[in-house]
Amino acid sequence: MMGTLKTEPARARLDLLAAPVAEALAQWPADAPVDVNDVLVAPIDAELADTAAFCAAYEVGLDVSANCVVVAGKREGVVRYAACIVLATTRADVNGVARRALDVRKASFAPMADAVELTGMEYGGITPIGLPAQWPILVDARVVATPHVIIGSGVRHSKIALPGPALGALPGAQVVEGLARPA
């Protein structure tokens, strides 16, 4: 499942995490359905952080690699943001399911500069762990049904491996049937 990645507990390698991710792991609830020690991290080559290149280089299947995309839409002049977590074999239904969840007329991928500034994470490494508390985290049901997934770590030089159900249990997470469509 984790291909050739060399994983270790994420809390032991804060140097491999963006600051908001490290803070979220430090505050991981003791009663969470997934123990914080089951959240693993592995260093990777930052040049291989993009999904297709990463999966090929580290022998990780697209079916266990999850992407976190930041979407935005306006309502009454206020921009609303959400994160969509989908498997790499699928694409987020941004202007259907995600738009309705944000309760906006039109949703689109958030501009890169906004996503980076608002999350405190690197583009290409944004992860649902440690996102702004007011953002909904929309998790496609297929992600939660996957025993273990690989996601970003907030930086491009590492990846997080954790049980798929953990993503549906994050603060602000909503498991959504049909959030993603086959790619």
Strand intervals (E) in the chain: 8-9, 40-43, 66-75, 78-87, 90-92, 107-109, 137-140, 149-152, 158-162, 173-176, 180-182
Looking at residues 149-172, what average pLDDT do you find? 96
Supply 145's token pair.
Answer: 């049904």
User: What DSSP character marks residue 90?
Assistant: E
pLDDT tens figures, 10-44: 999 999 999 999 999 999 988 888 899 999 999 99
Q: What distance in Å separates the CA atoms of residue 107 and residue 100, rounded to the nearest whole number?
A: 9
Q: How confident is the model at residue 46 (pLDDT cuts 50, 70, 90)?
A: very high
Q: What distance in Å separates the CA atoms of residue 57 and residue 35, rounded to the nearest whole number?
A: 29
Q: What's the sign of the alpha-carbon dihedral 8, 9, 14, 20?
A: positive
Name the CATH code of domain 8-182 (choices 1.10.274.10, 3.50.50.60, 1.20.1440.230, 3.90.960.10).
3.90.960.10
Whether residue 183 contacts residue 55, with contact meaning beta carbons closer than 8 Å, is answered with no
Q: What distance in Å separates the CA atoms of residue 93 and residue 64, rounded to the nearest whole number?
A: 19
Looking at residues 111-139, what average pLDDT do you find? 97
Strand partners, 175: 139
Phi and psi, residue 96, nearest 5°: -115, -90
**Count of other CB atoms within 10 angstroms of residue 37:** 11
Report percent pLDDT > 70 for the chain: 99
The domain locations on the chain are 8-182
**The Cα angle at residue 173 between residues 94 and 183, in degrees rounded to 5:** 35
Q: How confident is the model at residue 1 (pLDDT cuts 50, 70, 90)?
A: low
Q: How confident is the model at residue 2 (pLDDT cuts 50, 70, 90)?
A: confident
